Structure 1
Amino acid sequence: MIIKNKKGLWLVDDYDSTEDPIFHRIKKIIYKKKTKYQEVAIVETAVFGKALVIDGIPQSFEKDEFIYHEALVHPSMVLYKNPKKVLILGTGEGASLREVLKYRCVKEVVAVDIDKEAVEICKKFLKKFHQNSFYDERVNLVFCDALEFLKKTEEKFDVIIADLTDPYEKSQALRLYSERFFKAVKEKLSRKGVFVMQSQILSIVKHEQHLKNRKKIKKVFGKAYSYRTFVPSYSEPWSFIIASERNPLRLKKNEIKKRLKENKVKTKFYSAEIHFALFALPPALNFVK
């Protein structure tokens, strides 16, 4: 939420704990509007630059969003050798789309979002995030509910990426954190297809939502691989879950390097070395099974 006190404007991230909120000083509110589905704000923060805020909850920050989006996208893209068709559920600011489009092997990306107006706002104000990825000829933008899209489409996808908002009470994505949704995803994967989703905080003290997500995904897909990375603007280790027939740790380092090189993929965070570090959880998190 955005608050004002004697020291100015603040973006307060208290989604995970009202007892331990994170404060970001706001230099200015660039744009703010209530769409049909949610409240969207673009703010300029003092430390992390521009930020996308949905229903008062910060989604991504200009200075370090690449860490989150590269961690979300690249492990699954290299796990499926040369994916040609990719589905993104939760288009948002277009940064996940940006990362997927780095792969020359990709022929088509279907990007689904329920809120067209929110995407248009991001197009206008967050150009450094999407880097004109919305206008790539390989992209097909679809504005509808993610579950409804999965139920109606007859297409199959090599990689499906769920970059959903967190499951807070007002979230449009709340009902997507369900076995019903994961079953719909599984049905639309091609043979040996890979599914990945962002899965909230995974730390020694905060892990409940991740475990809920993992349990449901594992029940539907049979296998679930948890990984995480620290995102400075979140002040927490953020997690992701891959569902795949192939264990992402079975990839060889040279195999990852080759796939990135063949597609001429340039990154600022992800690498063959980082790939394995992402999945290295400490002994204190051995309960994540």
Structure 2
Amino acid sequence: MSGWITEALHGDFHTNFRVNKVLFDNQTEHQNLVIYENEIYGRVMALDGVTQITERDEFIYHEMLAHLPILAHGNVRKVLIIGGGDGGMLEEVLKHKDVDKVTMVELDRTVIELSKEHLPMICGDAFDDPRLDLVIKDGCLFMKECCEKYDLIIVDSTDPIGPGEVLFTDNFYTDCKKCLSEDGILVTQNGVPFHQATELKSTMSFFKPIFEETTCYMATIPTYVGGPMAFGWGTDKAGLKDVSVAELQVRFAASEIETDYYTPEVHRAAFALPKYVQELVD
């Protein structure tokens, strides 16, 4: 590979990234994996031709999928991450000193090993943390067999194509629900609604029969073009999405976490949806 890499995730709309240097390009047991360097985004990982994470803006995605639900809940002790082989989500979750255990279920061990080798600026030393229970397994199968309860489940999946497709089904979400504690929260990545409206509508339609409170919240991540990205939100504890800025400020200060995107004010604002997105949720 040299020159430019073209991402065709959105059909008629293609995105091009200049490849300055290829670090890895090969087929794993489950998918094609490429890690390369780009002048704007730094190191970039793509799976089956679709950009997953970049060095320069990963903090937005990971902070919003990790810190927002943890601080909204206020007492998260056990976390389950489905996917997230790059380790960025794991690193953010482990910054919370009150989290006792994080179970991470990743299908492709090669993604983890290559992330530790080529993307240490994203995962840090998270994979060495004693609170981590790493499971190499299909996430859908893990949830079906799971008997534990978690305060927070984060579905850090690829798009609903290839290996990640099963993580966007009603059966999978139902299995997640049975593994949540009474006040537990399920959050999911649901793509860019402007281009991937069906993905968000589908997830919300599956959430509504099984959760008392369902919606999404949003963040703008430059890599994922086409507008802000949506994150699905499901819980039986009504009001968790409405925690006041004042309370969030107290919890955030107590966490002693430094962030580059997340703030209590951004947290509250993330649930204010544009009309076209609210219509998809409804």
Q: Does the pair score TM above 0.5?
A: yes
- Paired residue total: 279
Alignment partners' CA distance in 2, 1:90 and 1:284: 29
1:221 maps to: 211
- What's the CA shift for 1:127? 0.2
Matched, 1:231 2:260: no
1:44 maps to: 37
Alignment partners' CA distance in 2, 1:200 and 1:284: 15
Report the TM-score when normalising by structure 1.
0.92
Matched, 1:34 2:24: no
What secondary structure does 2:163 align onto? coil
Query: 1:183-198 counterparts in 2 under 5 A?
Result: 183-198=174-189
Q: Deviations over 1:87-140 (max 9, x none)?
A: 000031000001101111101000110111221111111100101111111111
Quick one: which amino acid aligns to residue 246 of structure 1?
A
Residue 277 of structure 1, aligned match among 246, 252, 269: 269
Alignment partners' CA distance in 2, 1:16 and 1:177: 18
Report the TM-score when normalising by structure 2.
0.94
1:176 maps to: 167
Q: Residues 284, 179 of structure 1: CA spacing in aligned structure 2 closer, same or farther, 3 A cutoff?
A: closer
- What's the CA shift for 1:82? 2.0
Name which of structure 1's ranges 227-236 and 62-71 shifts more when overlaid on structure 2: 227-236
Quick one: which amino acid aligns to residue 207 of structure 1?
A
What secondary structure does 1:88 align onto? strand
Query: 1:116-195 counterparts in 2 under 5 A?
Result: 116-168=109-161, 171-195=162-186
Quick one: which amino acid aligns to residue 15 of structure 1?
L
Alignment partners' CA distance in 2, 1:224 and 1:22: 32
Alignment partners' CA distance in 1, 2:278 and 2:72: 24
Residue 49 of structure 2, aligned match among 45, 56, 63: 56
1:199 maps to: 190
Query: 1:249-288 counterparts in 2 under 5 A?
Result: 249-287=241-279, 288=281
- What's the CA shift for 1:206? 4.3
Residue 14 of structure 1, aligned match among 8, 12, 16: 8
Instruction: Kindly indicate whether the alpha-carbon contact (under 8 Å) linking 1:198 and 1:239 is maintained by their aligned counterparts in 2.
Output: yes
% identity of equivalent residues: 30
Q: Deviations over 1:156-190 (max 9, x none)?
A: 1010000011012xx21111211100110001011
Instruction: Kindly indicate whether the alpha-carbon contact (under 8 Å) linking 1:179 and 1:220 is maintained by their aligned counterparts in 2.
Output: no
Quick one: which amino acid aligns to residue 273 of structure 2?
L
Alignment partners' CA distance in 1, 2:8 and 2:167: 22
Matched, 1:65 2:65: no
Quick one: which amino acid aligns to residue 162 of structure 1?
V
Alignment partners' CA distance in 2, 1:248 and 1:81: 9
Alignment partners' CA distance in 1, 2:120 and 2:193: 30
Mark the runs of 5 or more structure 1 residues left unpaired by the alignment: none
Mark the runs of 5 or more structure 2 residues left unpaired by the alignment: none
Q: Residues 44, 242 of structure 1: CA spacing in aligned structure 2 closer, same or farther, 3 A cutoff?
A: same
Q: Residues 266, 212 of structure 1: CA spacing in aligned structure 2 closer, same or farther, 3 A cutoff?
A: same
Alignment partners' CA distance in 2, 1:242 and 1:48: 28
Alignment partners' CA distance in 2, 1:286 and 1:199: 14
Q: Deviations over 1:12-62 (max 9, x none)?
A: 222023x22111111011112211111111110121110111011100111
Name which of structure 1's ranges 83-92 and 257-266 shifts more when overlaid on structure 2: 257-266
